[in-house]
Amino acid sequence: MAATTNSTAVQIERKVLTRLPTDAGDFRLALYHNSLDDKEHLALVIGEPRGRSDVLVRVHSECFTGDVLGSQRCDCGEQLRRSMHLMAHEGQGILLYLRQEGRGIGLLDKLRAYNLQDQGYDTVEANLALGHQADERDYTVAALILRDWGVRSIRLLTNNPLKIDSLRALDVNVTGRVPLAPTFTPNNTSYLRTKVERMRHLLQLPV
């Protein structure tokens, strides 16, 4: 289960907001400090979402291997890039980039989990074998950043129903889900199958 923290006990502070032109479009990038952890979380924003309803939102957890290196072991980098393009197409959206590598277990143990997966463990079994939960992410900061941008409600870009449940538990008004269908490859099919079979992700698996 993903964790949730009492959001009234957590404070966030927007430290900087800057223009960020990208291949997808011209965004603004905000960096936040917070009292929950020592990580710098980010909001990538296009358009003027304040006061609007049904804003397209992606809550994306950091994946160095997928986002930066283009790893084919997961679908994270593809989800990140596709979300940015969908928001740019609509002319409005918020992509929250949370520094929660490896579903919250950190880069070191994520790489150790990769080695266990190469030995036959699935992604859930590998996390458990390393003494972690299957998913240790906390979305409290995400909810507070959305509040800082003043959105009334969101459509969430996700395949993960737990993420929707977690945000709703933090009083985020999620009015709809926008799926992100992955590209299946020989290197990620087992990983994606585990997401469906063990973590309730809403994906259509190949026959």
Which domains, from first to last, does the chain contain? 7-100+137-197 (3.40.50.10990)
Distances (CA, A) of 83 to 14, 36, 57, 157: 23, 26, 8, 7
Enumerate long-range contacts of 27-33, CB under 8 Å, 24 or more apart: 27/84, 27/88, 30/145, 32/141, 32/145, 32/148
Question: What is residue 28's three-state secondary structure?
Answer: strand
- 138 flagged as catalytic: no
What's this model's pTM, rounded to 2 decimal places? 0.93
Residue at token pair 């609007």: 52
Which one from 67, 122, 135, 138 is the annotated catalytic residue?
135
- 135 flagged as catalytic: yes
13 CB neighbour count, 10 Å cutoff: 10
Tens digit of pLDDT per residue, the chain (207 long)?
455 566 678 999 999 999 999 999 999 999 999 999 989 999 999 999 999 999 999 999 999 999 999 999 999 999 999 999 999 999 999 999 999 999 999 999 999 999 999 999 999 999 999 999 999 999 999 999 999 999 999 999 999 999 999 999 999 999 999 999 999 999 999 999 999 998 889 988 887
Which one from 19, 137, 193, 198 is the annotated catalytic residue?
137
